[in-house]
């Protein structure tokens, strides 16, 4: 059981308590516990299974909630949740998954309109009942309608971060059973798409029936949908579908290629094969009835006179002609990242101290990091100029005693609703690096939001625009924005655009590719709020690779002296 599943269960208890008008302190306790579990670097289930770890040592987890977590890990169910589920209509939990709806609104619909399911909500929307309640404007009503429509289409996609936990756990579980020659995860997961609909796992092994039987017994499986000699499909407790395919070692590369590429990419490859009087499928490349390649992906592409194409590029966006001409770009890698340029400490809304974040970054081998605690506008988390300067003074002191790592005096500064910046230029000029972001006023018009970003880009002390579209995958879409205008202005001014490795995954890969075409440069960061999230750089790299970015497009692939020279503030000084 993954930390995300435990955290989700705790969050559902909090939601159910709120719907049931439960004790608000108890609601808050479960929400705090959910955050603690989600942020914990180690698997909680393993700590519980070991029997020697006291969950109450974790912040925000008391004896009662510790017992609930233990029961969930050991039995698969949480007593408090079971009791609450029995007291409310089961369809209310489905309503909570619709964007724009939280426990308070679900309770309002239930109490005032007797809405107990998605179908009830759809009916209430169509009859105009929701609009009559008050507080539901046209935009919110449209968002709810979209959520209801999405709820009718089947299981929701999950963010890549969460899918990775499931994928890793299943692969490790299958490997532990032995007898496996090769195993990997294919599909949109391997292409590193921001959200995943299901997982495709490909295995070559000695004894297929043993592996398939073991797969069906994975602890989080709630349903074995199908099971055959070489294939099995299961559903996990989260609703995620996982498909396992067992192939011969001679076919492993062909299967990985077939199940990784997008439909459009694979169609083009099959056309190339047909043009060469070959046949391409998940078992290999065939000339007549003879298989001429299939053991490795390189051999499959080579049989079609193509260079091997990185998984992130397999979307039929022009990668195939480049592979034919041997002109594929050398995509950036995680190993090329020299620094992380957005992270937070407990001086604002982070969970770790300044020294703890620094040491965790040092352990990752970075040459420099930017501590970007918030400016004053961010409610309950921002720092005043005096507090920022005090932090920067402490950073200066720490830098004097460090070797191999430079901590940059930085800030994540809000771009205010008026278009002004949250800090004066004299403060910004003292920093080593400034990232400007929008957190508030997201419902402004496209023109207003675009102008706010352009105003920040125009300021010579703003080094980068952080999470430029404001999205959070999958719960909040990008705000309206004339992105071409923003990207062009950033390129002209020498202002960097951030690719954020948190669940924002912002910029999106398509916009990052567009920005590159305008001549913009980038930085990759994690936006880490605890030490565990410093490892989210791999998700920022995934977005960059899907955008076909190389190390030369990204400033923080360079050593510290070159990075500092590359900032436009270096020219200003």
Residue 15: predicted pLDDT: 86
Dist. CA 106–CA 221, nearest whole Å: 29
CA distances from residue 197 to 53, 147, 157, 163, 335 in whole angstroms, order as listed: 35, 17, 4, 9, 28
Which pLDDT band, with edges at 50, 70 and 90, does 193 fall under? very high
Q: Are 160 and 192 in contact (CB under 8 A)?
A: yes
The hierarchical CATH code for the domain 334-572 is 3.20.20.140
State whether residue 554 is helix, strand or coil: strand
Dist. CA 341–CA 366, nearest whole Å: 11
Percent of the chain past pLDDT 70, that is, above it, reads: 97
Dist. CA 111–CA 108, nearest whole Å: 5
372-413: pLDDT as tens digits: 999 988 866 778 999 999 999 999 999 998 889 999 999 999
Residue 432 confidence (pLDDT) above 60: yes
Q: Are 19 and 106 in contact (CB under 8 A)?
A: yes
Which tokens hold the place of 459?
A: 């300021």
Residue 406: predicted pLDDT: 96
Cβ partners under 8 Å of residue 331, min gap 6? 310, 312, 313, 544, 545, 548, 549, 550
Average pLDDT value for the chain = 90
In terms of pLDDT, which residue wins out, 467 or 36?
467
Q: 158-247 belongs to which CATH class?
A: alpha beta
- Tell me the residue ranges of DSSP E strands in 362-483: 368-371, 406-414, 433-437, 464-465
Residue 150 confidence (pLDDT) above 80: no
Residue 105: predicted pLDDT: 84
Residue 156 confidence (pLDDT) above 80: no
Residue 303: predicted pLDDT: 97
Dist. CA 13–CA 16, nearest whole Å: 5
27-62: pLDDT as tens digits: 888 888 888 888 777 788 888 887 778 888 888 888
The pTM of this model reads 0.82
Residue 151: predicted pLDDT: 63
320-340: pLDDT as tens digits: 999 999 999 999 999 999 999
Q: Give the CATH superfamily of 268-324.
A: DNA polymerase, thumb domain (3.30.210.10)
Q: What is the bridge-based pairing of β-strands 279-281 and 284-287?
A: antiparallel
Dist. CA 572–CA 460, nearest whole Å: 7
Residue 152 confidence (pLDDT) above 60: no
Residue 573: predicted pLDDT: 55
Residue 90: predicted pLDDT: 67
212-236: pLDDT as tens digits: 999 999 988 888 999 998 999 999 8
Element (DSSP H or E) covering residue 241:
strand 241-247
| 89-102 average pLDDT score | 74
The hierarchical CATH code for the domain 3-151 is 1.10.150.110
Dist. CA 393–CA 372, nearest whole Å: 14
Domain boundaries of the chain, sorted by first residue:
3-151, 158-247, 268-324, 334-572
Residue 572: predicted pLDDT: 61
């Amino acid at each position: 059981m993954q930390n995300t599943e435990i955290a989700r269960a705790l969050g559902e208890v909090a939601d159910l308590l709120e719907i049931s008008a439960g004790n608000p302190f108890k609601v808050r306790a479960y929400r705090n516990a959910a955050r603690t579990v989600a942020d914990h670097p180690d698997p909680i289930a393993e700590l519980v299974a070991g029997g020697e770890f006291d969950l109450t040592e974790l912040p925000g987890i008391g004896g009662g909630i510790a017992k609930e977590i233990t029961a969930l890990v050991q039995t698969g169910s949480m007593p408090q949740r079971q009791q609450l589920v029995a007291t409310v209509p089961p369809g209310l939990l489905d309503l909570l998954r619709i964007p724009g709806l939280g426990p308070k609104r679900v309770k309002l619909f239930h109490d005032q309109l007797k809405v107990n399911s998605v179908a009830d909500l759809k009916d209430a929307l169509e009859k105009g009942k929701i609009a009559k309640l008050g507080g539901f404007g046209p935009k919110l009503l449209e968002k709810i309608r979209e959520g209801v429509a999405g709820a009718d289409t089947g299981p929701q996609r999950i963010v890549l971060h969460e899918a990775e936990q499931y994928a890793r756990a299943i692969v490790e579980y299958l490997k532990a059973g032995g007898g496996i020659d090769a195993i990997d995860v294919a599909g949109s997961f391997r292409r590193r798409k921001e959200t995943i609909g299901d997982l495709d796992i490909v295995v070559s092994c000695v004894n297929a029936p043993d592996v398939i039987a073991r797969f069906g017994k994975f602890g989080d499986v709630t349903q074995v949908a199908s099971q055959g000699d070489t294939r099995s499909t299961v559903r996990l407790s989260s609703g995620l579908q996982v498909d396992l395919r067992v192939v011969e070692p001679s076919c492993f590369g062909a299967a990985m290629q077939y199940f990784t590429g997008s439909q459009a990419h694979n169609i083009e490859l099959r056309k190339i094969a047909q043009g060469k009087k070959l046949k391409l499928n998940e078992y290999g490349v065939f000339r007549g009835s003879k298989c001429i390649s299939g053991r490795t992906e390189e051999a499959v592409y080579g049989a079609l006179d193509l260079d091997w194409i990185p998984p992130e590029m397999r979307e039929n966006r022009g990668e195939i002609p480049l592979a034919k001409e041997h002109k594929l770009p050398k995509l950036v890698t995680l190993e090329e990242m020299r620094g992380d340029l957005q992270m937070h400490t407990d001086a604002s809304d982070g969970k770790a101290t300044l020294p703890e974040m620094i040491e965790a970054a040092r352990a990752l081998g970075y040459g420099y990091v930017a501590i970007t605690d918030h400016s004053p506008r961010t409610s309950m988390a921002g720092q005043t100029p005096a507090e920022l300067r005090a932090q920067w003074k402490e950073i200066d002191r720490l830098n004097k005693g460090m070797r191999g790592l430079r901590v940059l005096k930085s800030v994540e500064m809000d771009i205010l609703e008026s278009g002004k910046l949250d800090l004066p230029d004299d403060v910004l000029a003292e920093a080593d690096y400034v990232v400007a972001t929008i957190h508030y006023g997201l419902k402004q018009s496209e023109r207003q939001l675009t102008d706010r970003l352009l105003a920040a880009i125009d300021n010579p002390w703003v080094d980068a625009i952080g999470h430029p579209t404001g999205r959070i995958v999958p719960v909040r879409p990008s705000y309206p924005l004339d992105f071409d205008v923003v990207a062009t202005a950033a390129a002209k001014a020498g202002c960097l655009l951030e690719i954020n490795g948190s669940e924002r995954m912002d910029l999106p890969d398509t916009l990052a590719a567009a920005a590159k075409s305008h001549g913009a440069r980038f930085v990759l960061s994690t936006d880490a709020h605890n030490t565990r999230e410093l490892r989210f750089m791999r998700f920022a790299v995934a977005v960059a690779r899907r955008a076909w970015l190389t190390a030369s497009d990204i400033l923080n692939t360079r050593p510290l002296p070159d990075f500092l020279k590359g900032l436009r503030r270096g020219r200003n000084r």
